[in-house]
Structures are given as structure tokens and as C-alpha cells.
Structure 1
Amino acid sequence: MNVAVVRPLVDRLYDPADVSVVYCLLVNRVQFLREQSHQAHHQTVTVTRAILCELIAGKILRRFNEENPGRSGLLLLANVLVSGFEPFQNAPVEFAHSKKHATQWAYQKRGGYERKLTALEIAIVSESKFFLSGVACQKVVEAVYRGRVVYTPTSFIDILPDHYKHKPISLYNPRKAPLLNQYRLIVPRTRNIIEICQFAVLLALYVLAMTHRDHTTFDRYELCFCVYAGGWVLDEFASILEHGWQVHTQNLWSFLDITFIVIFTSYLLVRLHGLSTNQPEAGRQALDILSIAAPILLPRLAFSLMPENMLFISLRAMMADFIILTLLAIWCFAGFLLALKWLGHNPAYPSHPTDNPDPLTISKWMLWIWFGLDGTGIQRAPAFHFLLGPLVMILFAFLGNTLFLTVLVSSLSNTFAKLAADAPAEIAFRRAVLTFEGVKSDALFAYRPPFNVLALVLGLPLKAALSPRRFHKVNVFAVRVLNAPILLGISLFERRYLWKNTRATDPSKRSKVLAFWDLGRFGVHADLAAVFEGQPPQSVIQEIEAVDEFEDGVTSEGFLLPVPRVGEAARASEARRRRWSMVQ
């Protein structure tokens, strides 16, 4: 299949001067995936076509990487992945006008960069995990994450837009950049560290507010938490608008953030109502609502610190399956609740007691049976009907506690097994999502909570009153003043370490750094790792070169050519490069 179909298509579609072919292939994959959802008779064919598009796109990107080494090749790969393309680009004018309704989502002018999407975004939306886990793609993702490749991203909606300058895709040189470069705040690695710190502050303020809670007064701890949480919620809302709901929900902890936003909004509305009407009971209820945010905030911090942990990755996917299956079960088993309710209120049977249980009590009994906690519902079943009541309740116990829970456990086990079987691709996909979402375009992200609320209140009137150039200058000045220590630290760090090969990327260097803390070096098999830590002696290298030169002298007919002496210059061969890479 690879020789007969894939390779000829790659040879035909690959063009060193065309960086849009990968984008086009991924867009076709999205279309094939959309067709398979509503064309059941062609489902197998369309899924195969989608897989083929992803496979060809990955091989073309790999060829770009192989034929363009070095930093210039990295820049070319970045143009392939993060350059913006419009779906109707270069289409006939009459065709584009006929589909004008599909291009009305660009509400903000960006100087000709409206409605442009990148190949990386299309790969994330289509969940092209094989493509995103490729070496060439991860090379660009890593460069963008660290800030070595910089560009101005496209966005769906910016709350506080500042599009006066558009930075093209380029390699960042920290020594030629200004000392306080506000654009470094949108580098994904920097952005990720800042977001973790912001969330840690939010968690600390939440603990303080709940520790000193008083429903009768609005103390300073609760005030600080509300102000800071309001800025954090605004930042999260801007993130949703930045790249759309579909991309945002691919984030590992998006469901936790959205849940906290719902809880905080409910708490704030009830709390403000209680303060305005002077009702202490409403204040108590508001704090009770806020207290249930603790199971959300504590795991959220762990998700942020370990985004590539397979436990958290699988937990997110399993949670989605669990919610879907639970909703389906509630829908299906609601009939048992109605049956028991109507049985309990049927006056045709005089054996019914006068104190019939209400629907809430029946639901509680059914829930206990569902999870195998208590059998009160089965004991009270004759109160509904001497024959039909126990029959319905026992049937529910068989279907709910035995059949459904077995299906649920099997489904969740299957989901975890699939993720664990392809763990590297899943981790690479989450890393790509984190990187893509980390590059922000909205000027609001340059302000830390709660200053982003102040920037929104003051920035929107200034945006309407000033010219784009003047507003850009005011925005840059405010960002640099408020983030001066952070920008200075980023600049000093990147000027020394940005383009330097870190020790963490070299296993041999990392082992040397951590050798003191490695307890395994005291074990019986410590020599198995120690033998690869040092460089091979020069005599061994010369012997390897002699063997390679000997193999190069063998002709295709099996005869030997004269073998050069050790140390003489000989042409580089594929076998020598292979052996040398094994030694390294």
C-alpha cells in the first residue's frame, strides 16, 4: 500500500515551493470526517480517505524536514504549519461570492488576515494525532512553545484587539530584541508558567476566603477573591473566544475551568442578591455554592503541573464517556421512576398505604440500588403493588446495578486501553493543543488578573477614541509598566538559554546531572548504563572506520577492492553514518 498508493501521491503532491499542500490535505480530512458522520453507506470509504489525507500530509511534512535542515529548515516548517490560509483563497470570484454566508464570522478587521486558519489548527480540530506526533511537526511545536519561532496568530474574536502591527513568521533573536519585549508574554512556555502562578494565587485566595467566611459580612478576604476570580474568569472567557469552543475544549483541563466558571457565577449572583436585599440566608447559600468548587480547583492545579501525565489524559476522556453513558442511563431508567410513581398513586388497590413515597424518595432508593449501597427500595416495593412493585424494582436492580455498570466499566476500560496503547501520540496531541492555545492575539492577555478587568474598562473607550497607532503605543506602554519585572527576567533568561541546547534534551548529559541522585547507580546492573555515558576511545573509532571502509570496498559482484589504510580519508557511506549514530 505504501509503495503503490502513498509514495506516488507524496511524490506527486510534494512541491518545495508550495507550503499550502499540507493545509489542503488536512482540510480535505476534515471534510471526509464530516461526510462519514451522515453518509453511512460510504462510511468506510470516507474514513479511509481521511486517514490517507493525514498520512500523506505527515509524509510531505517529513520530506520538508529532511530536505531542509538547520534553522532555515525550521523556518520553512513553521511556514507550513502556522501560516494562515483562507479556505476560499485563490477561488474564482463568482464561487466565493456564492458562499458569502460562510465567511461572515470575521467581525474584526486585521489588515487582510481575516478568516485565515493554520494547518496546525486544522490538525487539532480534526484530531490528526498521527500527523501531530510526527518528528517534523513536534519540531515546530517545540520551537513555538519555547518561543524560538514567533508569529502573530489569527483569532476568532478579540475582546481588546490591537492589530496595528502584524509580526510575520520568523526566528526570534533575543539579543536583537528590546529588553522589555511585550510580545514574549504570549510565548506558550511563558504563558503556561504565568497561568500556573495565576491559578495558584486564585487557589490561595479561595482557601483564605473559605477559611474566614462569614455570611453576614463581606470581608476583605472574600473581596480579594472575588476581584481576582473575576479577572481570571475574564481571561478564561477571552481564551474561549480566541480560537473558538471546539479548540478550547481540546484542552486537558477545560472542563474543570468551565465548571468553576459556572460555580463562581452562581455564587456571585446569589451573594450580590443577598447583600442587596440584606438577607443573611442568601449569603449562607452563596458560600455553600462556592464551597463545592474545592473538588474542582485542587485537581485543576495537578492538571496544570502534569499536563502530559497519562492518568490525567485518560481521566479527561473517561469523564466524557462517563457523563454521556450516565445521561443515557438516566433517560432510559426514568421509565422505572414513572412506573413506580404511578403504581404508588393508583387508588384501585386498597393495599396501598396512605403515605405513598414522593418521586424524590423513589429516586433516592433507585440511586442506592444503582450503586449497590442499600436495598430499602426493594424492601418497600410491596407498598407500590404487592406483585408489580417488587417486579419493577428487581428488574431495575438487574438492569441498572448489574448490566449497566458492567457496560460502563467495560466502556471506560476500553477507552483507557486505547489511550494507553497510543500514549506517545496522545501526549503529542495534548502538547500541540497547549502550544497552539498559548499563542495569544488579544491584547487583554498581556494584563495579569485583576488588571485585565481594569484594562477592559479603560481600554475599550480608548480604542474607540484613539487611532490604531496611538492606541498601540498606549497599550505597549501600559503592558511594559505593569509587567516590567517579568519582561526583564524573560529577556535575561532567553538571551542566555533560548537557543542553547538544554541538558534536558540530551539523555547523556541529563544522566550526568542526575547521577548523584540516581539510586540505581548503586545497584548490581549499574554498569549497563555507565558503559554508554562516556565517549568511545579513539582506537575504537578508528576500528569502526576501518570496518566501514572494508564494507565499501565490496562490489555488487562480490569482489573486493583495495582497502585504504586506517586514518586515510574515505568517502562517507550510509553504513558509516549508521554505525556512528549507534556509537553516539
Structure 2
Amino acid sequence: MNILIVRALVDRLYNPSDVSVVYCLLVNRMQFLREQSYQGHLQTVNITRATLCELVATRVLRRFDDDHPGREGLLLLANILVAGFEPFQNAPIEVLRENPSALQWPVQRRGGYERKLPALEVAIISESKTFLSSSACQKVVDAIYRGQVIYTPLSFVDILPDHYKHNPISLYNPRKAPLLNQYRLIVPRLRGMIEICQFAILLALYALTMVSREGLKITFYEVIFCAYATGWILEEFAAIIEHGWKVHTQNLWSFLDITFFVIYGTYFTTRMYALSSGQTYLGETALNILAIAAPVLLPRLAFNLMPDNMLFISLRAMMRDFSVLTLLAIWCFAGFFLSMKWLLDVSNHDGSRDGPDPATISKWMLWIWFGLDGTGIERSVDFHLVLGPSLMIAFAFLGNTLFLTILVSMLTNTFSKIVANATAEIHFRRAVLTFEGVKSDSIFAYRPPFNVVALLILLPLKLLLSPRWFHSVNVAMIRIHNSPILLLIGFYERHQLWRAPNGQPRGPSKRSKLFPWTFSGFSPHGDIQAVFETDPPEAILGKTVEVDLLTVRLEPVSQPQSMASGS
């Protein structure tokens, strides 16, 4: 299969002057995956086609990497993965006339970059994990993550758009860049550090608010928390609409963010209504609603600090399966609830006795579902002498035995699949974090809660000023607001960004000559690390070169033999 199909397609499609073939292959994979969802008779065929497109795209990208080494090759790979393409690009005029709707979906104008999507985004939404875990793709992802490759990201909708300048894909040289470079705020690695600090501040303000709460009275910490949380939610909302819901939900902690949105929105609405009406119990209820955000915020910080942990990666996928099966179970078992409710209404039509209310019936069914209490089975005769116990026993058998067994089997299967492909899953999550970390919306350059103030000031100014003047005002405000952060970033990157040779792994470096001390001597295995940190003698290096030259001279003789054994 590899020789007759995959390699033949790679040889045919690979063109050093055409960087769009990888994008085209991934778009076709996405289409085949969509077709297999509703064409049942061709499901396996379409899955095979989609897999073949991913394999060919991976091989083509690897050949680009092999044929173009060095920094120029890194720049070429970046153009393949993050340059914008559109499906109707270079299409004939008659095709565009027949499909006028293809040119109408952009919400905001960006000077000709409205309908373009990069190949990296198509790979993420099609979950091309084999492609994203390839060495060539990871090289580009790592360079973008560290800020060595810079580009202007393409987004769907920006809350505070500023597209006066479109920076092409290029390699970043910190020594030639200005010291206060506002574009460094969209580097994924730096943004990740800033977002962790912002969330830590949000968590600290939340804890102070809950510790110092005083019923209906609003404390100082609560005011600060509400202002900061509003700005933080604005930033998260901008992240959702920038690349769409499908890309954002690939993030590990997206379901935690949505849960906090709902909790905070309910709390804030109830709290404001309690203040306007003067009802004390509603103010206490709002604080009680806010208290249930603790199980969401604390794990979210762990997700941020350990995004590559297999437990968290598995937990996200298992939560999705659990939610789907739970909704299906509620849908299926709603008939049991209606049957028992109507049986109770018939038996109590004369009002001679009081039966359980719908809330009590739901509680009994929930206890039986989790196997906690059998009161519902004991009281089932209140519905009907024969039909009541029959319905409860059938529900207990289907719910507690059958559905829970299916649930455990599904979660076990999901966990085993993820663990079996641990490397691909981790690389996929890194690609998602990197792609989402490069932001185009100017609102991300302002820290909460100042992003709310910037939105209230700059959005009306955008209607009054020209694009050039708006860009100048926006850049000036960003640099003033982030000047300490930009100075630290500038000083650090001038010495550390390109410190490792391009294309070499960034492993632990040897000990500095200025600080020769080491604590490895306190370990029984310290010599293992120390021997690799010691430079070999010149005589040994000379012998190594001689062995390498001998290997090169013997390679043409041994090559046919190895090819025969490989085939």
C-alpha cells in the first residue's frame, strides 16, 4: 500500500513551487469525513479516503522539510501551514458566478484576507492527529509557540478589530525589532504565561470575595472581583468567536470556562436584582450560587499548569461521552417518569390520599439510577399495586444495570484509545493551544478589567477616526498599558529566543562556566548526567570524524542490501 499508492501519490502531487497542496489534501479529508457521517453505504470507503488524504499530506510536508533545511526551510513550512488559502481561490469566473454565496459569509473586512483559512486550522477541526504529530508539523508549531515564526492570524470575528497592517509570515529577529513590540503579546508561550497569571488573580479574588462576604452588603473584594471577572469573561468570549466554537472546544478547559460563564452570569443577575429590590434572601442566594464555582475554578488552574497530562486529556473526552449518554438516558427514561405521574393522578383522582409530588418521584428515580437508595421501589405501590412495582423494577434494571454498564464500557474504551495514542493526543493539544494562542483581536492586548475600559473607549473612536489614526492610538495605548511586560519580553528574547541552533532539539543545556556548581553529586546516579556534560578530548573527536568518513564511503555498498531486506 505504501509503495503502490501512498508514495506514488506523493511523487505525483509534490511540487516545490506549490505550497497549497497540503491545504487541499486536508480540505478533501474534511469533506470525506463529512460525507461518511450521512452516507452509510460508503462509510468505510470515505474513512479510508480521509485517512489516505492525511497520510499523503503528512508525507508531502515531510518531503518539503527534507528538501529545504535550515531557517529558510522553516519559513517555507510556516507558509504551508499558517498561510491563508480559500477553497475558491483561482477558480474560474463562471464557477464564482454559479456560487455567489461563497463570497458573502465574511462578517468583517480585512483587506482581502476574509475567507482564508490556514492548513493548520483545517487539520485541527478535522482532527488530523497523525498529521499534527509529524516532526515537520511540530517543528512549525514549536517555532510559532516560541515566537520564532510570526504572522498575522486570520479570525472570523474580532470584537476590537485593528487590521490596518498585515504582517507577512517571517522569522522574528528580536535585535532588529523595537523594544516595545506589541505584537509579542500574541506569542502563544508568552500569552500562556500571562493567562495563567490572570487566572491566578481571578482565583485569588474569588477566594477573598467568598471569605469576606456579608450577605446583601457588597464588600470591596466583591466589587474588584466582579470588575475583574467581567473583563476575564470578555476575553474568553472573544477567544470563542475568533476562530469559532469548533476550534475552541478542542481546548481542554473549554467546558470549565462555559460552566463558569453560566454560574457567574446567574450570580451577577441575581445579585443585581437583589440590590435593586432590597431582598436580602436573594443576595444570599446569589452568593450561594457563586460558591458552586469553586469546583470549576480550582481544576481549571490545574488544567492550565499541566495541559499535557494524560489524565486531563482523557477527562475531557470522557466528559463528552458521559454528557451524551446522560442526555440520551434522560430522554429515554422520561417515559417512566410520565407513566408513574399519570398512574398517581389516576389513583388519586378522588383526592382521598396524598401521593408523592413530581420532585419526589424524580429524586427516587435518581437514587435508583445511582444505586443509592431503594425507597422508590418500596413506595412504588403508591402508584399502582401491580404496574407501579413493575415500572420501578424495569427502570432499575435498565438504568442501574444496563445503562451504567454501557457507560463504564464507553468510558473505558475512550480512555484506552487515548492512552494508546498518547503521543498523538499530546501533540494535537499542543497544536490547538498554539493556534489559539496567536490572537488577532486587539482586545487581548489589554489586561482585565482594562479591556472593558478599552472597549468602551476605542470602539466609538473606530467610527470617528481613519484606520491609520485608529491604529496609531491603539498601538500607543497598548504600549503604555503593557510597557513593563514588553520591556521584560524584549530583554529576555534578545538573548534567549534563537539561542539553540535552528532545527536542533531544545534539551537541557550544559552547565554554565560562570556557575560550575552542581548538586548531582548528592545522587547515586549523578555521574550518568555528568559524563554527558563533559567535553570529550580532541583525540576522541578525531576518531569520531574518521568513523563518520568510513561510514560515508561504505554507504553506497550497503544501501542495496538494506533496501532488499526492507522490501
TM-score range normalised by the length of the shorter chain: over 0.9
The farther-off stretch of 327-336 and 384-393 is: 384-393
Q: How much has 1:391 moved relative to structure 2?
A: 2.0
% identical aligned pairs: 65
Structure 1: distance between partners of 2:437 and 2:164: 21
1:522 match:
524
SS for the counterpart of 1:217 is coil
Q: Which 10-residue stretch deviates more, 264-273 or 411-420?
A: 264-273
CA distance in 1: counterparts of 2:129 and 2:512, whole angstroms? 30
| CA positional deviation for 1:97 | 2.8
Q: Which runs of 5+ in 2 are unaligned?
A: 562-567
Cα pair distance change 1:117/1:357, threshold 3 Å? same
Q: Residues 549, 147 of structure 1: CA spacing in aligned structure 2 closer, same or farther, 3 A cutoff? A: closer
The equivalent of 1:52 in structure 2 is 52
- Equivalent residue for 1:226? 226
1:477 aligned onto 2:476 = yes
8 Å CA contact 2:81, 2:118 repeated in 1: yes
Distance across 2 between alignment mates of 1:546 and 1:107 = 64
2: distance between equivalents of 1:109 and 1:100? Answer: 17
Moved more, 162-171 or 383-392: 383-392
- Compute the displacement of 1:103 (Å): 3.1
Amino acid at match of 1:393: M
Which piece of structure 1 moves more, 462-471 or 540-549? 540-549
SS in structure 1 at match of 2:131: helix
Q: Give the superposition deviation at 1:194.
A: 0.6
Distance in 2, matches of 1:510 and 1:395, equals 69
Pair 557,401 (structure 1): closer, same or farther in 2 beyond 3 Å: closer
1:365 is aligned to 364
Matches within 5 A, 1:157-306: 157-306=157-306
Query: C-alpha offsets along residues 193-234 of structure 1, whole Å, 9 cap, x if unaligned?
Result: 111111111111111111111232122111111111110111
Cα deviation 1:379-428 (Å, max 9, x = unaligned): 11222222222222122212111111111111001000000000010000
After TM superposition, list the pairs within 5 Å mapping 1:331-342 onto structure 2.
331-342=331-342
**Distance in 1, Cα, partners of 2:547 & 2:488:** 52
- Give the Å deviation of 1:375: 1.2
- Work out the CA distance in 2 between the residues paired with 1:292 and 1:398: 33
Aligned pairs for 1:481-560 (under 5 A) are 481-501=480-500, 505-506=506-507, 509=510, 521-522=523-524, 534=534
Q: Which amino acid aligns with 2:231?
A: G
Q: Does 1:322 align with 2:322?
A: yes
How far apart in 1 are the matches of 2:512 and 2:130?
30
- How far off its partner does 1:533 sit? 5.5
> SS of 2:163's equivalent?
coil
Alignment CA distance shift 1:492-1:354 (3 Å): same
Work out the CA distance in 2 between the residues paired with 1:364 and 1:518: 60
Q: Distance in 2 between matches of 1:334 and 1:163?
A: 52
Q: Which amino acid aligns with 1:74?
A: L
* Distance in 1 separating the partners of 2:24 and 2:557: 47
* In structure 2, C-alpha distance between the alignment counterparts of 1:229 and 1:555, rounded to whole Å: 64
Q: Following the alignment from structure 1 to structure 2, what is the Cα–Cα distance between the partners of residues 472 and 349?
A: 73
Q: Deviations over 1:231-279 (max 9, x none)?
A: 0111111111111111111111111111111111111111111111222
Shift of 1:517: 6.2
For 2:512 and 2:308, the matched residues in 1 are separated by 21
**Kept after mapping to 2: 8 A contact 1:158/1:441:** yes
Stretch moving more, 211-220 or 62-71: 211-220
Equivalent runs, 1:15-26 vs 2, <5 Å? 15-26=15-26
TM-score by length of 2: 0.93
Letter in 2 for 1:380: R
Kindly tell me: are residues 97 and 259 of structure 1, through their superposed partners in 2, closer, same or farther at Cα, counting changes over 3 Å? farther
Deviation at 1:353, TM superposition (A): 7.3
Seen in structure 2, the aligned counterparts of structure 1 residues 216 and 514 have a Cα distance that, compared at 3 Å, is: farther
| Distance in 1, Cα, partners of 2:472 & 2:233 | 27
Distance in 2, Cα, partners of 1:49 & 1:474: 51
5+ residue gaps in structure 1?
Answer: 559-572, 576-584
Asked if structure 2 preserves the Cα contact closer than 8 Å seen for 1:84 and 1:116, the reply is: yes
Contact preservation (8 Å) 1:504, 1:510: no
Q: Is the CA contact (8 Å cut-off) linking 2:235 and 2:444 kept in structure 1?
A: yes
Q: Which amino acid aligns with 1:338?
A: L
For 1:128 and 1:4, locate their aligned partners in 2 and report how far apart those are by CA, in whole Å. 23
Distance 1:229 1:551 in 2: 63
Correspondence for 1:43: 43
Aligned to 2:564: none
CA shift, 1:551, in A, is 6.5
- In the other structure, the counterpart of 1:3 is 3
Does the CA-based 8 Å contact 2:252-2:316 persist in structure 1? yes
**Structure 1 residue 64 displacement after superposition:** 0.8
SS of match in other structure, 1:345:
helix
Cα deviations across residues 135-189 of structure 1 (Å, max 9, x unaligned)? 0000000000010000001110111111111100000000000010011001111
Does structure 2 conserve the Cα–Cα contact (< 8 Å) formed by 1:110 and 1:163? Answer: yes
For residue 475 of structure 1, give the secondary structure of its aligned residue in structure 2.
helix
Aligned CA distance change for structure 1 residues 21 and 280 (closer, same or farther; 3 Å): same
SS at match of 1:155: coil
The aligned runs of 1:380-459 (5 Å cut-off) are: 380-459=379-458
Distance of 2:194 and 2:406 partners within structure 1: 42
Q: Counterpart amino acid of 1:505? A: R
Q: Which residue of 2 aligns with 1:467?
A: 466
- Aligned residue in 1 for 2:565: none
The answer to which of 215-224 and 411-420 deviates more is 215-224
**Root-mean-square deviation over aligned CA pairs:** 2.7
On the 8 A contact 2:521/2:527 being kept in 1, the answer is: no
Q: Helix, strand or coil: the match of 2:229?
A: helix
How far, CA to CA, are the matches of 2:224 and 2:505 in structure 1?
A: 39
Deviation of the 1:455 alpha carbon: 0.7
My pick for the range that moved more, 376-385 or 423-432, is 376-385
User: What's the offset of the Cα at 1:370?
Assistant: 1.2
Shift of the alpha carbon at 1:348?
Answer: 9.0
Question: Residue in 2 aligned with 1:581?
Answer: none
Q: 1:63 to 1:520 in 2, by over 3 A?
A: farther
Whole-Å separation in 2 of the counterparts to 1:510 and 1:314: 37
Range moving further from structure 2, 513-522 or 12-21: 513-522
Post-superposition offset of 1:342: 2.2
| Contact map agreement 1:314 1:419 (CA 8 A) in 2 | yes
**Residue of structure 2 equivalent to 1:132:** 132
Q: Cα gap change, 1:535/1:272 in structure 2, threshold over 3 Å: closer, same or farther? A: same
Taking the aligned partners of 1:253 and 1:547, their CA distance within structure 2 comes to: 51
Q: Distance in 2 between matches of 1:302 and 1:68?
A: 40
Q: What SS does the aligned partner of 1:176 have?
A: coil
The one-letter amino acid of 1:428's match is H
How far residue 531 of structure 1 moved from its aligned partner, in angstroms, is 6.0
Q: Which amino acid aligns with 1:446?
A: A
Distance 2:511 2:427 in 1: 22
Tell me, in whole angstroms, the C-alpha distance in 2 between the residues paired with 1:556 and 1:278. Answer: 89
Equivalent residue, structure 2, for 1:569: none
Q: Deviations over 1:340-376 (max 9, x none)?
A: 22222323999x9712111211111111111111111
Counterpart residue identity of residue 506, structure 2: T
User: How far apart in 2 are the matches of 1:557 and 1:66?
Assistant: 23
User: Are the aligned partners of 2:159 and 2:441 in contact in 1 as well (CA < 8 Å)?
Assistant: yes
Query: For residue 471 of structure 2, what is the amino acid of its counterpart?
Result: H
CA distance in 2, matches of 1:268, 1:192: 28
Match of 1:28 in 2: 28
Structure 1 residue identity aligned to 2:94: E
Deviations, residues 291-321 of structure 1 (Å, cap 9, x unaligned): 1111111111110111111110100000000
2:467 maps to amino acid: P
Matched residue type, 2:363: K
Higher mean displacement: 126-135 or 110-119: 110-119
Q: Tell me the distance in 2 between the aligned counterparts of 1:556 and 1:452.
A: 64
Q: Give the CA deviation at 1:528.
A: 6.5
Deviation at 1:510, TM superposition (A): 9.0
CA contact (8 A) 1:337 1:363 kept: yes
* Separation (CA, whole Å) in 2 of partners of 1:405 and 1:152: 48
